[in-house]
Structure 1
Amino acid sequence: MNDPQLDPGDIAALFDRTRLRMARELRGFSQVQLAREVGSVTAASVSQFENGHTRPASSTLNRIAVALRVPPSFFAAPARPPAQEQINGFFRSLRSTSPRDRQQALAYVHLARELALELEKYVVLPEFNLPRAAADGGRSLQAADIEQAAALVRAHWKVPPGPVENVVRLLEMNGIVVVRFRVSIEKVDAFCVDFPDRPVVALGADKGLRDRSRFDAAHELGHLVLHGIDGQIADKATENQANEFAAAFLMPATDIKHELPDRLDWPAFLRLKAKWHVSIAALLVRAKSLGVMSEHTYAQGWKALSVRGWRKVEPGSLGNPETPVLLQRALELTETTGVSYSSFIQRSGLPEADVRTLLDRDFTERPRVKF
């Protein structure tokens, strides 16, 4: 367990190599760049520290902490098993996501898991509650299986028929940590990491569209349900499966099929968008996949979306994206137990600036007047 009273020698003795790598990747540094920032170590030394071949001296660890903008106590091993280093995320196209961006995004998600586990020392978070659909990473799934899996999750979570009121809240109520990135990680789309103790879904901050962000959240839920803990850079097949799951989860066939138009009735699509809080594009795909719309009409619809510029910006804004609240509310509840925010940060050893970034909230010791 991290302890603010640990002296430098104790921190060095409890040095956790995975924490060093996490902190380095949070800052987007390579081992060479970190060595340059520290000034008194080589890249080879950093590599040895991270591989567990050697431990840094207390003075070196303090300089590394300064370079990485984390408290020295961050490097002390917590009193719990660390996350498996091989756990990756379900990232999308390699073409648009650099390895450095993926590593930095993954580091923030690992930090979100650490924050959740620290909060669980003081408050009870919702139990992780998610049925799994396949044991083979989804390789044998057919379209009907995916529809059934989405229906299974809705039934298991007791989601009433019709539109899902709040996808992000539903995930959080069932023990999945959701964060929305407020960091300058370019070209990283939504992704998830299926940690065995508590999965984390990361949503991009750049998608200010409620309908697309909801679909992203349901898409990542699809990965968790269909593809297990074999996190990877998703291939086309798994991405298509996650999209099919999201569509079935957000727009169950039994609820929406009779509402979908079989022609390009844009006013009707706009009304459905307002009701179901999904994009016109998603409705168009659903109409085709459920056999309501012909291939020809569907193709004409996509051409019309392109010509009108609706593939980038659709009419019928639905407002702001759904906001994660689980970590924020857990921290507020922690404060009611007599552990202030500053005390929690000190005890946890987590870097405060990054906790603020994850929570996207300005914390002060003084209560804020609300109207």
Structure 2
Amino acid sequence: MTRTDHPHLPGTHPAASTPRAVADAFDPARLTQARQLTTLTKKEVAEHIGVSPAAVGQYETGSTRPRADLIPKLADLFDVPIVFFLAGRPHGKLDASMAYFRSLRSTRSFHRDRAASYVGQIWELTYALEKHVQLPPVDLPGFSGGEIHPGTDLPTDPAAAAAALRRHWSLGTGPVTHLVRRMEAHGIVVIAPAEADPTAPSVDAFSTCRLPRPLVVLTANRADDVYRHRFTAAHELGHLILHADIAPGDHRQEREADAFAAEFLTPRASIADLLPRRMDFTRLAGLQRTWGVSVKSLIYRCRELDRISDATASRAYQRLHRLSVTPGFRPEPVSGYPGEQPVMLRQAFDLATSTTGTSLRRLAAELAWKPQRVLDLLGVADTRPVLRLV
């Protein structure tokens, strides 16, 4: 995160809304952020505003600034106010190499860049809300910005770390209910966009510890299934715990995050005697509902804990595939489980607007966004009726 103080902050200077003032105080990083969010290339931006791709590159590096007449064109292209490009406000700068992607191999670089810029804006929204509302303090052992026991480290072994976090959060040894809500209660910002992103189908989930608050994004691109959703949340929690100071990209890290998630959701000492030695799908379906993990994960756990053989596990997966459209085995939408849907930022916004006099327009002005962008990131649907001209 960087902040450069500048007198021309949005809404604080009468000339700040002029293209000339924006050109004089142009923030190159804002152009990069806007371009990455739209996944446009420098060539495409150049074609829209009538300059060369090299010129756009120079704008982004800061070696030159765009002319004043180009500022409205850039604002129109990226659907932002012209003051969006002003320097002087907190910027959640996050390089894509600083985030953990669940599907790293299949996620193209420009999709990772877009996701990193998206996370940056989520942090900027969080920062703006924290000016008006006190959010839950960060209680994540090992996180350098943690506000509770910031020096507390957990074991590096995934299973041991999962057990230690359970103790730290006083979760006991049974099922973890309302996982996403618990993560938020301990200061982790969790975002779950309501709709899949058709432009980035390979982006599954991602997280980062490199901003002042740990942040997890759970996308809807792969499957709307609460059990997969919960395991993914625990997987990303594992990254935050185990890999805060390690550069992402090692596939070993993904395996460790899976091992953390399995132990965190189904502790070996608690689940081992409950797992069948012969594949009993009725029993597995019951464990799925009780422990909040999928039958597929439970079959894997059976094999991992030597309850069944590889051959039995293989046959079980085949049978599960055939059962995947029947009640009890087909995906269950996340919308049916309120405790697994993030609410912290939305409730902070509601509290700020109801008690501190903050309005949507004021918050948008602080961020130099359009009001609709604030609503989009908060997951607030536009309830206005749609005028359709025939």
User: Which structure is richer in relative contact order (CA contacts within 8 A, separation 6 or more)?
Assistant: 1
Question: CA offsets, 1:38-83, max 9 Å, x none?
Answer: 22x2211111111121222333222211111111122223444653
Query: What is the root-mean-square deviation in Å for CA atoms of aligned residues?
Result: 2.7
- Give 1:172-251 correspondences, 5 Å limit: 172-181=184-193, 182=195, 183-184=197-198, 185-206=200-221, 207-232=223-248, 234-251=249-266
Matched, 1:297 2:312: yes
Q: Is the 8 A contact 1:180 1:358 kept in 2?
A: no
| Aligned counterpart in structure 1 of residue 63 of structure 2, from 53, 63, 68 | 53
| Contact 1:219–1:245 (8 Å) recurs in 2 | yes
Counterpart in 2 of 1:169?
Answer: 181
Residue matched to 1:326 = 344
Match of 2:217, SS?
strand
For 1:34, the equivalent position in structure 2 comes to 45
Q: 1:22 aligns with which of 28, 33, 36?
A: 33
Greater CA drift, 111-120 or 69-78: 69-78
Return 21-30 or 352-361, whichever deviates more: 352-361
Gaps of 5+ in 2: 144-154, 385-390
1:34 Cα shift? 0.9
Is the 1:73–1:349 Cα contact (8 Å) retained in structure 2?
Answer: yes
**SS at 1:96 equivalent:** coil
Answer yes or no: is 1:155 the counterpart of 2:167: yes
Contact 1:17 1:49 in 2 (8 A): yes
Give the counterpart of 1:260 among 271, 275, 281.
Answer: 275
Taking structure 1 as reference, are residues 108 and 314 closer, same or farther at Cα in structure 2, changes over 3 Å only? farther
* 1:108 CA displacement: 1.3
The one of 82, 85, 92 equivalent to 1:75 is 85
Which of 338, 350, 353 pairs up with 1:335? Answer: 353
Structure-2 residue corresponding to 1:145: 157
Letter in 2 for 1:3: P
> Where do 1:343-358 residues align within 5 Å?
343-358=362-377
Partner residue, 1:126: 136
Which 10-residue stretch deviates more, 4-13 or 341-350? 4-13
> Is the alpha carbon distance of 1:231 and 1:198 closer, same or farther for their aligned partners in structure 2, counting shifts above 3 Å?
farther
Cα separation, 2, equivalents of 1:312 and 1:28: 39
| Residues 267-276 or 67-76, more deviating | 67-76
Match of 1:3 among 5, 10, 13: 10
State the shift of 1:95 in Å. 4.6
Could you tell me which amino acid in structure 1 is paired with residue 78 of structure 2?
L
Matched residue of 1:350: which SS?
coil
Q: What whole-Å deviation, never above 9, does each CA across 1:168-197 have from its counterpart, x for those lacking one?
A: 111211221111233433221111122230
> Which whole-Å CA distance do the structure 1 matches of 2:115 and 2:324 have between them?
29
Kindly indicate whether the alpha-carbon contact (under 8 Å) linking 2:22 and 2:85 is maintained by their aligned counterparts in 1: yes
Seen in structure 2, the aligned counterparts of structure 1 residues 129 and 166 have a Cα distance that, compared at 3 Å, is same
Provide Cα deviations, 1:88-145, integer angstroms capped at 9, x if missing partner: 3212445532222222222211111111111111111122221139xxxxxxxxx992
Identical amino acids, percent of aligned pairs: 35
Partner of 1:201, secondary structure, is strand
The range that moved more, 108-117 or 308-317, is 308-317
Pairwise CA distance, 1:295: 3.4
TM-score by length of 1: 0.87
Question: What one-letter code is carried by the residue in structure 2 that aligns with 1:315?
Answer: F
Mean Cα deviation higher: 348-357 or 320-329:
348-357
**What are the residue-to-residue correspondences of 1:307-318 with 2, within 5 Å?**
308=322, 310=324, 315=329, 317-318=331-332
| Alignment equivalent of 2:380, drawn from 356, 361, 364 | 361
CA contact (8 A) 1:83 1:195 kept: no
Q: Is the CA contact 1:48–1:54 (under 8 Å) kept in the aligned structure 2?
A: yes
Deviation track 1:244-297 (CA, whole Å, cap 9, x = no partner) reads 111111111222222111110000000000111110011111122223333343
Which residue identity does 2:189 align to in structure 1?
Answer: V
Change (3 A) 1:205 1:84: closer
TM-score when normalising by structure 2: 0.83
Residue 108 (structure 2) aligned to one of 85, 98, 119: 98
Alignment partner, residue 369 of structure 1: none
What SS class does the counterpart of residue 286 from structure 2 fall into? helix
Alignment-derived partner of residue 137 in structure 1 = none
Q: Matches of 1:94 and 1:148 in 2, distance apart?
A: 25
CA distance in 2, matches of 1:81, 1:315: 44
d(CA) in 2 for partners of 1:191, 1:311: 28
Query: Per-residue deviation at 1:312?
Result: 12
Query: Higher mean Cα deviation, 25-34 or 156-165?
Result: 156-165
Once residues 350 and 153 of structure 1 are traced to their aligned partners in structure 2, the CA distance between those partners, rounded to angstroms, is: 38
